[in-house]
Amino acid sequence: MPTRRELIRELTAAVGAANVLWRPEDLLVYEFDGTIERQAPHAVVFPAGAEETAAVIRACNRLGIPITPRGAGTGLSGGAIPTRRGVIIATARMRRILEIDPVNRLAVVEPGLPNLQLSEAAAAHGLFYAPDPSSQRACTIGGNVAENAGGPHCLALGVTQNHVIGLEVVTAAGEVTWLGNRVPDAFGYDLRGAFVGSEGTLGIATKVVVRLLPLPASVVTLLGIFDTVEQASHTVSAIIAAGMIPAAMEMMDRLTIEAAEAGLQCGYPPDAGAVLLVELDGLPGPVETQAARARAECFENGAREVRVAQDAHERELLWKGRKGAIGALGRIAPNYYILDGVVPRSKLVEVMARVSAIAESYGLPCANVFHAGDGNLHPLILFDERQPGMPAKVLAAGAEIMRACVDAGGSLSGEHGIGFEKRDFMPWLYSETDIAHMEQLRGVFGNSGDFNPCKLLPTGTGCGEMAHQEAALRAAGPDAYV
């Protein structure tokens, strides 16, 4: 095994000394993402493109050093946690828009580009990029590709996989190749589709070709105000049953509403039991007709009021509350643990009641904000990690909630991925044979176990020893074997 100095020397040769971090104080912000897990890497490198990325990967492979890809670190399943330390390859230097092609309605971008900047640039051509995670001001296209990210407006338009048509990738073996191209639906095995959502276990995307869509001619945004989550949940099913697929259909419960309104002043009624944000877009005539029908369904299912955004400013305020709601919960507790389960829309009421009961049994407050239209739940367990034993208690409650989603016929993730957080839950949905076949795909891309280890699949060793490894290395000194 190499010493730390030998590792830094190899990384510096690949990307230059200015693009390698290794001092402990510089590594602090890279030991966590949006989850409650933590682990410090030995080093962080910032390649400028595919060739430098490949050089870093080949160097780490020669030295037997684990690699963890990282975008903006906004992930919510522990995917960017360096569980076995090693080297983080960060994409922050690769953040250019290389091309916007309005004729073919596509863009070619680098992985470190923040999601929102793509739509802002495309707007000049009357276009936009559909996947819009709530963290879109910070999260990057490369991270979205790794996690197959969604967002509020993916109900009608689909998630990242539906909008990525080609990728330049550096595989886990350090080879540069293209998956897909500039033309959708290419013949042959869909390795592009396999790569999107692979959570950094197959390689790192260094260029991404995405589909762009025309900006809608008309948008109507409604806010249905209800006394209970049950009424709002029934409304979701009623709107879909009426033959409409809104662009977005988002729900927040009382605790979330109170925090969002106190922190953001978006005009939400803080005494409501739930609000349902419904957005429809398209041609003006059909949109107005659908908006009237959606409004009627809200009242039919118990809404006490339905507000319609009168202009772009009011619409932006309503969405500000939804997209800033999670951060606003910091007014209630210093920490939160966000879950990401999917259930059939017909089971929303049943599962929401079960989520509430589980949180209550653990004595933990739980706020709910979620993509109601596609049954993608985001319960947020609020806690203070300084209280002894609290993280373990929160994780146990989270596991019960995820089990409730699966038992209702749902899934383990709608958009946050499996990562480190839910890898041990995969056997709830997949057989040993299924998981073995997924493991074999990693080998095709050159991953023998050291490329984003301990993620996605319940395989691998040494993943539960993070704290012990870190303590031992600190005791051994800065030039210890890595």
Question: At 50, which CATH number?
Answer: 3.30.43.10
Contacts of 19 (CB under 8 A, 6+ apart): 45, 46, 47, 48, 93
Give the DSSP H or E segment for 253.
strand 248-253
**Last-in-domain residue among 148, 179, 214:** 214
Cα dist from 86 to 82, 155, 464, 466, whole Å: 7, 38, 15, 12
Please indicate, yes or no, if residue 435 is contained in any of the structural domains. Answer: no
CATH code of the domain in which 103 resides: 3.30.465.10
Q: In terms of domains, do 119 and 198 share one?
A: yes
User: Which of 165, 182, 214 corresponds to the end of one domain?
Assistant: 214
Are 247 and 320 contained in the same domain? yes
Same domain, 198 and 131: yes
Give bridge partners of residue 140 from the DSSP assignment.
Answer: 114
Q: What angle do CA 408, 412, 417 make, to 5 degrees?
A: 160
CATH number reported for the structural domain that contains residue 404 in this entry: 3.30.70.2740
Residue 205 lies in a domain: yes
- pTM of whole model > 0.85? yes
User: Do 254 and 173 fall into the same domain?
Assistant: no
Distance between CA atoms of 470 and 277, rounded to whole angstroms? Answer: 45
Give the pLDDT of residue 187: 81
Query: How is residue 345 written in tokens?
Result: 């829309």
Separation of alpha carbons 462 and 431, rounded Å: 23
Residues 181 and 108 in one domain: yes
Domain of 176?
97-214
Q: Could you tell me the two tokens for 447?
A: 């991953």
Residue 442 belongs to what H/E stretch? helix 432-444
The answer to whether residue 254 is domain-embedded is yes
311 in a structural domain:
yes
Report helix, strand or coil for 462.
Answer: coil
User: What pLDDT is recorded for position 472?
Assistant: 35
What is the β-pairing status of strands 248-253 and 274-282? antiparallel
Same domain as 265, residue 240: yes
Note whether 183 and 269 are same-domain residues. Answer: no
How many CB atoms lie under 10 A from the CB of residue 420? Answer: 25
Q: Could you tell me if 102 and 210 lie in one domain?
A: yes
Total domains, the chain: 4
Query: Are residues 313 and 204 part of one domain?
Result: no
Whether 45 is in a domain gets the answer yes
Of 214, 248, 283, which residue sits at a domain end? 214
Does the residue 432 lie in any domain?
Answer: no
Residues 233 and 339 in one domain: no
| 482 falls within a domain | no
Q: What is the pLDDT along the chain (482 residues), one digit of tens a residue?
A: 789 899 999 999 999 999 999 999 999 999 999 999 999 999 999 999 999 999 999 999 999 999 999 999 999 999 999 999 999 999 999 999 999 999 999 999 999 999 999 999 999 999 999 999 989 999 999 999 999 999 999 999 999 999 999 999 999 999 999 999 898 777 889 999 999 999 999 999 999 999 999 999 999 999 999 999 999 999 999 999 999 999 999 999 999 999 999 989 988 998 999 999 999 999 999 999 999 999 999 999 999 999 999 999 999 999 999 999 998 999 999 999 999 999 999 899 999 999 999 999 999 999 999 999 999 999 999 999 999 999 999 999 999 999 999 999 999 999 999 999 999 999 999 999 999 999 999 999 999 999 999 999 997 656 755 433 343 334 334 444 45
pLDDT for 183:
86
- Tell me, what's the pLDDT at 304? 97
> Is residue 124 assigned to a domain?
yes
338, 378 Cβ separation under 8 angstroms: yes
Q: Is the same domain home to 79 and 101?
A: no
Q: What is the pLDDT of residue 467?
A: 39
